[in-house]
Structure 1
């Protein structure tokens, strides 16, 4: 029995090492809204979840996110691209951490620290765009190194009216 467990463990490790991309994770799937994500950082996956899909439409909702930092965060920048049919239709970027600017509780964290966040998030938009699209999100630090990167697939058929 022990030999078969060891063999199974070795096969799992070989499969993980042979895999070239991270799995797709489901953030939420309720009624007319579905959100999935996949890490686009070849070095690291991360955990991300939302309490209830429908809460996103209320503008403030609770999330949970977790990862081990591979790079320190003195400055942190976010770049978002909305992609429809393979074409970028909207781009947004913003500095989240920097000298005199600390919008997030993990600004100033060091490499190797465990980033855990559980709490409310406000998007600052009136509604989530309807349709099928990809939202590409990339966080980079002061050295222009990727801290986290993900492609979110959104299928939204919510009726806001």
Structure 2
């Protein structure tokens, strides 16, 4: 995964584009998932399994990024859009001062984070449409640790 991140950063340095490339998470007959970092300074690595329209209760994900700030507290903000119309949004605390839910809580600026593990999917089936998700990781100083736009296309 570290080699993947380095390769993406090198590609971006020599590219004329001002956006990170779009990455394919999965491309199956019933579901396509793509993502692009919306952080102007860094790309992230992300994968999920299984890739199927009918989702299990728990997905297995992998996430990798380099920290540009410390994370004592961390909140995941998620917004879901359909045809540019926001359907809903919510926030979920991942790291709090009184308790740390994940191994990356308390990490310092400059550290490489690699998380691999289960997450609850929250939905059972991806509908037959295109949805855009905006995910942001925000620390206690309201600094954007990571930002990614995901496109889900159910067939």
TM-score bracket, normalised by the shorter chain, equals: 0.7 to 0.9
Moved more, 105-114 or 127-136: 127-136
1:24-63 counterparts in 2 under 5 A? Answer: 24-54=22-52, 57-63=55-61
Aligned to 1:4: none
Q: TM-score, normalised by structure 2?
A: 0.85
Aligned to 1:49, the other structure's residue is in SS state strand
User: 1:148 offset after TM fit, Å?
Assistant: 0.5
Equivalent in the alignment of 2:152: 154
Residue 143 of structure 1 is matched in structure 2 by: 141
Report the counterpart of residue 105 of structure 2 in structure 1: 107
Aligned residues: 145
CA–CA distance in structure 2, aligned partners of residues 53 and 64 of structure 1: 13
Which position in structure 1 is the counterpart of 2:74? 76
Distance 1:153 1:13, change over 3 A: closer
Unmatched tracts of structure 2, length 5 or more: 1-10
Match of residue 89 from structure 1? 87
Q: Would the alpha carbon gap of residues 64 and 22 (structure 1) be closer, same or farther in structure 2, given more than 3 Å must change? A: same
Q: Distance in 2 between matches of 1:59 and 1:79?
A: 20
* TM-score relative to the length of structure 1: 0.82
- Structure 1: gaps (5+ residues): 1-11
Larger helix fraction of residues: 1
Residues 32 and 141 of structure 1: is their aligned pair in 2 closer, same or farther, counting only changes over 3 Å?
A: same
Which residue is 2:6 aligned to? none
**Distance verdict in 2 for CA 1:13–1:92, change over 3 Å:** closer
- Structure 1 segments, 4+ long, off by >6 Å, are none
